[in-house]
Amino acid sequence: MTKIIFFGNGPLADIAKSLIEQHPDFQIIFHAKTKQDLEKVKTLKASDPAIFGILASFGVLIKADVLDLFEPYGILNIHPSLLPAYRGASPIESAILNGDQDFSVSIMKLVKAMDAGPIYYQETLTSDQFSPQPSKSEIYTKLSTHATNWLLSHLNNLPTPVPQDDQSATYTTKFDTSMSTLDPQKPASNLLNQIRAFQGFPKSKLMLGNQECIILEAHLDTNSPEDQHAKIKVACKDQNLIIDRLQPAGRKPMDATSFYNGYLKK
């Protein structure tokens, strides 16, 4: 039985942890979620040098005193981008905002510099492996699943990791609620990408009538008969954005027709 200390929080971590727990040959002996948990990590690892470390979206700085315990393989970090692209806190969200159609995942050795460690494995999933307009949840699920399955197949026989090209690195930032407001002066595709990228947090907001609403789902106007009869259209810089689902402040999510009938219909 291969023992693992798992580091992580959020959807990427939840998916990876679940897959590891289902595998009969691997056992997670501790799940580190906070900075305080690192003291127990040091104790466990010191008592059994054969324990592996796997990390996904931990969000806590791990210093050299912990990193050194996991040599020579290091803590194996699942990062959802084609490193060195999209280093930082929001790789999937940034890729969606940029209009990417393909999405990638890397497994690297964790080092002190942010997302700069050598690469054990990378894979790019092309657009035909996703839904036509994949949700953030779908992207998280598929990338984490592919990376974790690779780890489970190779953890006891890891290849030599390949250094990254730091000169080619790009960086992402953390998002916050100051970015939530949708700006119809931008192209409709930009707003659609923002709605998809900001699902869950920090969310995308728009005033419709006298109501501030969180926009949950939308699509570009195709001028189809169905779109011509859409209840809520937002005129953007280049074309209309059609709202499909939304949530008025203090209310439950609803479809656009229900919102129109309850708030906009005169």
The share of the chain scoring above pLDDT 70, in percent, equals 100
pLDDT tens per residue across span 4-23: 999 999 999 999 999 999 99
pLDDT band at 265 (very low <50, low <70, confident <90, very high): confident
Domain parsing of the chain, residue ranges: 2-168, 177-264
Q: Rounded CA gap, 23 and 3, in Å?
A: 12
Q: What is the pLDDT of residue 126?
A: 97
pLDDT band at 31 (very low <50, low <70, confident <90, very high): very high
Q: What is the pLDDT of residue 26?
A: 97
Architecture of domain 2-168: 3-Layer(aba) Sandwich (3.40)
Q: Rounded CA gap, 247 and 242, in Å?
A: 15
Q: What is the pLDDT of residue 264?
A: 85
Q: What is the pLDDT of residue 3?
A: 97
Q: Is 90 exceeded by the pLDDT of residue 98? A: yes
pLDDT tens per residue across span 183-204: 999 999 999 999 999 999 999 9
Superfamily of structural domain 177-264: Formyl transferase, C-terminal domain (3.10.25.10)
Distance of alpha carbon 19 from the chain centroid:
17
